[in-house]
Chain A
Amino acid sequence: MSVSLTALPATGTMRRRFVPVRLLRQLMVPGAIIALWYALTVHGYFDAQTMPTPQAVGLSFWQLIVTGQMWPNLLISLQRVALGLAFGGSLGIILALASSLSRFGEDSIDATVQMARTLPHLALIPLMILWFGIGETPKIVLIALGSLFPIYLNLFSAVRAADPKLIEAASTLGLSHVETIFHVILPAAVPGFLVGLRQALGASWISLVVAEQINASSGIGYLVMNARDFLRTDIIFDGLIVYALLGLATDQAVRALERYLLAWRPSIIAAKGA
């Protein structure tokens, strides 16, 4: 990859100068939106009660951090998502493998899961509250349910889509059924699983937002609901920013996982070499 670049020494310095340019380009649109927001609020196009200025939002964000309100609430939200995703994801993986790798599993599991997934899981909130109260359990169960189905569906179809030609080649190499699963079918399903993981993360954040707005006494959602009661729209904006940043961070984490697990893909090899 780098051969043609080292042949022309000037290109190396060019490339280094280009990195902030790309970052600047990426920041262009968000920057314009904030500028527009600033201009509109400063000139009083919005009611200051319902639409805070960007600087008010920034200031309250800073205050949430220095007064120590941000961290414990952020931490509890992260913990809910982590636990929910761990339970829902594990169950999704177990069910998907059981039903995709055997006919018995498919016949006994798949129809039930397909039926359950058509149900909007957020509609279960009233039941959850009756069954599990208003503690951590219903929130984690809700997030687990949100993440289970994307992982199940994607992993199931990825296992089934494993290339039959590779499976055939494995059999001519004398691989047993179990060895074929570990060397051929499961690695082939990893890309599909990662798509499922990404969707599951998205569903987890949505479930978290909804779960935390009902009877929560901690978490980012609680901060937001509390702010609504005191008409602190600036803090509501802070909550939204935190959710956006969390979504961005987890997406980056999945990308990093992809670069590690799919290191054999030409696109990733090229990106590493460049």
Chain B
Amino acid sequence: MNMLTEIAPAQAPGVTPGVTGEKFAVEVRGLTREFGTNSVLRNLDLQLRPGEFTALLGRSGSGKSTLLRTLAGLDAAPEGTVTVPAARAVVFQEPRLLPWKRVWQNVALGLRVKDARKRAEEALEEVGLGHRLKAWPLTLSGGEAQRAALARALVRSPKLLLLDEPFAALDALTRLRMQAMVAALWQAHQPAVLLVTHDVDEAVLLADRILVLDHGRIALDLTVELPRPRRHGAPGFNALRAKLLDALGVREDGATV
């Protein structure tokens, strides 16, 4: 009981050092989170394999953000055991760049290596921001800022990449480009990814495995067998989409079941 185990020093209460198993990048057992009398996560078990891309769907209030925050070490794990890799990184819905540091400085922040600047610049090149290294964050467009946040996460070579609705605030075209970029970066670096989203298409487009969280429990655990790169409307896409919408309690035409 009462532990979140990781290799790195503690961030949230209940965190003690330990070793991540070879078999799983993330291992959660019996995780329960309650706010007042309202339980957000109920006795949740979850394993994520190394390099696996998992999408976590759920309506608002289903506990998906709480689960992500627990894995990130931002929320404590008072009940249950949570084992996560020490090298993990988060991309939030907002870029959360420090406006008073230039883009490369934001990416290099907290990197405790000698060539931090060089690594930051390489990560920015990789997300196509090589021309904006010295820009101030508030001069970036929404898509550019989110790409910088992605570079800031990748430069830490995470074993677990946590994405908290990272495309939700972007316009439709930018979102499509960002999704393709995340897919490519994931294939190049092979971290385990947990993508929290409420966009069913996005989940089907990107994930190996899709979880639907409902009232703090995993209501559906689907493996996605579609070949990559995936396209909207490819064979099998719509069937999967319908199944997920159904699990979320929404019909294709938008009406509540």
Report the minimal beta-carbon distance from A3 to chain B, rounded to whole angstroms. 15
Q: Are B109 and A175 in touch, CB under 8 angstroms?
A: yes
Chain A residue contacts of B138, Cβ below 8 A: 264-266, 269
| Contact in complex: B110, A174 (CB < 8 Å) | yes
Chain B residue with minimal CB distance to A191? B100
Tell me the residues in window 52-101 of chain B with beta carbons closer than 8 Å to chain A beta carbons: 72-74, 89-90, 92, 94, 96, 98-101
CB distance from A204 to the nearest CB of B (A): 27
- A156-187 CB mask vs B (1 if < 8 Å, else 0) is 00000000011011111111000100011001
Chain B residues whose C-beta falls within 8 Å of the C-beta of A266 in the assembled complex: 136, 138-139
Distance between A263 CB and nearest chain B CB, rounded to angstroms: 8
Please tell me which one of the listed residues A165, A170, A172 contacts residue B89 in the complex, with CB atoms under 8 A apart: A172
> From residue B77, how far is it (CB to closest CB) to chain A in Å?
16
For the complex formed, measure the closest distance between the CB of B182 and the CB atoms of chain A, giving whole angstroms.
18
CB neighbours of A187 from chain B (8 A)? 98, 100-101
Q: Is B152 an interface residue (CB 8 A)?
A: yes
Q: CA separation between A184 and B101, bound complex, in Å?
A: 10
Size class of the contact patch on chain B: 20 to 34
Q: A173-B152, A183-B101, A187-B100 are in contact. Are A168 and B74 (CB under 8 A)?
A: yes
Q: Please judge, given known A-B contacts A165-B94, A165-B96, A183-B98, whether A172 and B109 are in contact too, CB under 8 Å.
A: no
The answer to whether residues A171 and B74 also contact, given A179-B110, A183-B101, A183-B109 and a CB cut-off of 8 A, is yes
- Asked if B8 lies at the interface with its beta carbon under 8 angstroms from chain A, I say yes
Question: Which residue of A171, A184, A263 contacts B98 across the interface (Cβ within 8 Å)?
Answer: A184
Query: Which partner residue on chain B sits nearest A165 by CB separation?
Result: B96
Chain A interface bracket (under 10, 10 to 19, 20 to 34, 35 or more): 20 to 34
User: Which residue, of A165, A173, A184, A269, has the highest number of chain B Cβ atoms within 10 A?
Assistant: A173
User: Does residue B11 face the partner (Cβ distance < 8 Å to A)?
Assistant: yes
Residue in chain B with minimal CB distance to A268: B136
Question: Binding site of B, secondary structure by majority: helix, strand, loop or mixed?
Answer: loop
CA distance A269 to B74 in the complex (A): 34
> How distant is the Cα of A264 from the Cα of B97 in the complex, in angstroms?
12
A175 / chain B contacts, CB cutoff of 8 Å? 109-110
Chain B residues near A183 (CB, 8 Å)? 98, 101, 109
Pair A172/B90 contact, Cβ less than 8 Å: yes
> What is the 8 Å Cβ interface bit string for chain A, positions 251-274, against chain B (1 contact, 0 not)?
000000000000111100100000
In the complex, chain A residues whose CB is within 8 Å of the CB of B73: 171-172
**What residues of chain A lie closer than 8 Å to B8, measured between beta carbons?**
174
Give every chain B residue within 8 A of A169 (Cβ-Cβ): 90, 92, 96
User: A101-149: which have CB < 8 Å to B?
Assistant: none
Nearest opposing residue in chain A for B152, CB measure: A173
State in angstroms the CA–CA spacing of A170 and B74 once bound together. 11
User: Bound state CA distance, A265 and B152, in angstroms?
Assistant: 21
Bound form: Cα–Cα A171–B89 in Å: 10
Shortest beta-carbon distance, A251 to chain B, in Å? Answer: 23
Q: Which residues of B contact A174 (CB under 8 A)?
A: 8, 110, 112
Q: Determine the distance from Cα of A168 to Cα of B65 in the docked complex, in whole angstroms.
A: 14
Shortest C-beta distance, A252 to chain B (Å), equals 23
Minimal beta-carbon separation of A226 from chain B (angstroms): 49
Chain B interface residues (CB < 8 Å from chain A): 8, 11, 72-74, 89-90, 92, 94, 96, 98-101, 109-110, 112, 136-139, 152, 156
Nearest 5 pairs of A and B residues by beta carbon: A173-B110, A169-B96, A187-B100, A264-B136, A172-B90
Interface residues of A (CB under 8 A from B): 165-166, 168-175, 179, 183-184, 187-188, 190, 263-266, 269
Beyond the given A183-B98, A264-B138, could you list 7 further A-B residue pairs with CB under 8 A, ordered by the A residue number?
Answer: A171-B74, A173-B152, A175-B109, A264-B137, A266-B138, A269-B136, A269-B138
